[in-house]
Amino acid sequence: MNLDDYGHAEFPGIYQGAPADVAFSSDGAHIWVANTQMHQAGARSPEGYGCGHSPRSYTSFLYRLDAATLQPDRTIPVGAGARFVAASPDGRLVLTSNWCSGDVSVVDTAQDREIYRLPLGMHPNGIAVDAGSTTAYVAIAGSTAIATVNLQDFSVGWLNSIGISPPLHPPRPQRSVFVRQRRRGK
């Protein structure tokens, strides 16, 4: 992909991505894709696909694909190591958990840009947004906490003592949050 074609002149040439997760817009017209890492075509980035020595040294991108054509029509820079993506049911926001930079990017879909980057600590993981589009839940891998993000004022709260590395999986329909605990030997 030529990122310059999408208004990113600071990324000249052809880039390859590493898609990590997808989410559909509530109307089904678009597919949001979290690309963990972008690197020049034909060359692997210095960090490989991990965080490397300088986690803030590279930019991940969120792509918006047209669901009918499967062609990208938007690319939005987000934090380093975008792993998971969730779209709010009201269509207003898209969030990515950025594994390497330890934050969550909040993208305004009307502006097609990141409006907030909320620090959560290392390693934000799965994301779920409630049915009312008022709260996002972000699992923090390797911890016993889930971050709660108020999608009106973008304040961050915490659900503590949840379990070991609780990944979130949004159920269908999205009326509750499912937390799976993983423990060795069980």
The total domain count for the chain is: 1
Look at residue 56 in the predicted model and tell me its pLDDT. 46
Which of these, 111, 108, 122, lies nearest to 151 by C-alpha position? 108
Q: For residue 132, what are the domain limits? A: 3-179
Q: Which residues, at least 6 apart from 87, have a Cβ–Cβ distance to it below 8 Å?
A: 23, 24, 25, 26, 32, 93, 94, 109, 129
Find out whether 104 and 124 touch, Cβ atoms under 8 Å.
yes
| pLDDT averaged per 10 residues in sequence order, the chain, 186 residues | 81 80 95 82 49 60 95 92 95 95 96 96 92 96 92 96 62 50 47
Q: Is 64 a member of any domain?
A: yes
Q: Which residues, at least 6 apart from 68, have a Cβ–Cβ distance to it below 8 Å?
A: 29
Q: What is the pLDDT of residues 112-154, one digit of tens each?
A: 999 999 999 888 999 999 999 999 999 998 888 899 999 999 9
Confidence (pTM): 0.81
Q: Residue 160: helix, strand or coil by DSSP? A: coil
Residue 116 has which token pair?
A: 């907030």
Q: Is 72 a member of any domain?
A: yes
